[in-house]
Amino acid sequence: MNTALMDSMEIDDDIYIHKSLTTAGLATQVDFQKRKQPSRCASVCLGLLCAVLLAGNIGQIIYYNIIIHCSSLDPTQANYNTLTQEKEYLQNNNDNLTTEKDQLQRNYDSLTVERKELEDRLSNLTKDKDQLKAGFNNLKNAYVNGLLGVSQNAWIGLTDHLKEGTWMWVDGTPVTIQYWQPGQPNSFNGNQDCGEIVQQSLGKVGEWNDDGCFSEQLWICEK
């Protein structure tokens, strides 16, 4: 009974103290609740700030990892860039060389055409020269023929004494145009090694004949 009485007295004391505090205006239950709210807001803000700092740290770590990773790839990228530049340089050189080759080919083709034209002109000039030379020889032979009397022959400096059948002038010049009579030269009896001009009628070109060099007759020399 004493214990129950003491518990009752403690409860009464608590009620009295709470009542006294409330009555005295020192604190109310509402005041206690209002004082708890700022503390709760500060806790929430502090938690958010910690989360932001944690996120920042994580982002910084990721950023540095990316930078380190990229830095480790830089040599390969640099080599790739160098090779790319060298490839472009070689490609430019190849293009320039191809252009020069094409230009040289065009020049070669042009020179080939010019060479062909010059060869054709030279061939034509050679033909003209031969024709002029033949005409000149005809004139000379006709002129010599006109100097001779009827049925008169004359030595003209023609011989094959060095090699039978190979006729040349006495100065060693080969014979290019010949005026042999039909069937001549025949080296009759094997001792006809000199050439003579046989007089023909006026207006004609004299003809040649081979005869023995021992025969005595006129001779004609060209200065």
Q: pLDDT tens digit string along 80-102?
A: 888 888 899 999 999 999 999 99
H helix or E strand, kind and range, residue 109: helix 29-147
How many other CB atoms are found less than 10 A from the CB of residue 161? 12
How far apart CA 158 and CA 156 sit, in angstroms, is: 6
Task: Specify which residues 218 forms β-bridges with.
Answer: 154
Range of the domain at 178: 129-219
0.75 surpassed by pTM: no
Regarding whether 58 and 136 lie in a shared domain, the answer is no
How far apart CA 25 and CA 33 sit, in angstroms, is: 15
The closest alpha carbon to 194, from 221, 167, 217, belongs to 167
Name which residue leads in pLDDT, 64 or 123. 123
Q: What is the pLDDT of residue 99?
A: 93
Domain-located, residue 86: no
Please state the domain count of the chain. Answer: 2
Task: Specify which residues 153 forms β-bridges with.
Answer: 198
Q: What is the pLDDT of residue 26?
A: 44
Domain-located, residue 211: yes
Domain-located, residue 54: yes
Domain stops at, among 49, 64, 79: 64
Domain-located, residue 165: yes
The DSSP secondary structure of 110-156, one letter per residue, reads HHHHHHHHHHHHHHHHHHHHHHHHHHHHHHHHHHHHHHS-TT-EEEE
How far apart CA 197 and CA 179 sit, in angstroms, is: 9
Q: What is the rounded average pLDDT of the residues 191-217? A: 87
Average pLDDT score, the chain = 79
pLDDT band at 138 (very low <50, low <70, confident <90, very high): confident
Domain-located, residue 149: yes
Domain stops at, among 39, 64, 89: 64
Q: Reply yes or no on whether the pLDDT at 144 is more than 90.
A: no
Domain-located, residue 55: yes
Domain-located, residue 123: no
Structure-token pair, residue 201: 């009628």
Q: What is the rounded average pLDDT of the residues 3-27? A: 46
Length of the chain: 223
Name which residue leads in pLDDT, 17 or 58. 58
Structure-token pair, residue 134: 């033949």
pLDDT band at 209 (very low <50, low <70, confident <90, very high): very high
Regarding whether 137 and 59 lie in a shared domain, the answer is no
Vertex 86 angle, CA 81 and 87, to 5°? 95
8 Å CB contact between 195 and 161: no
Q: Reply yes or no on whether the pLDDT at 107 is more than 70.
A: yes
CATH number at residue 154: 3.10.100.10
Structure-token pair, residue 24: 């005295």
Domain-located, residue 118: no
Q: What is the rounded average pLDDT of the residues 140-164? A: 88
Q: What is the rounded average pLDDT of the residues 43-57? A: 78
Q: What type of residue sits at position 179?
A: Y
Q: What is the pLDDT of residue 202?
A: 67
Domain stops at, among 46, 64, 82: 64
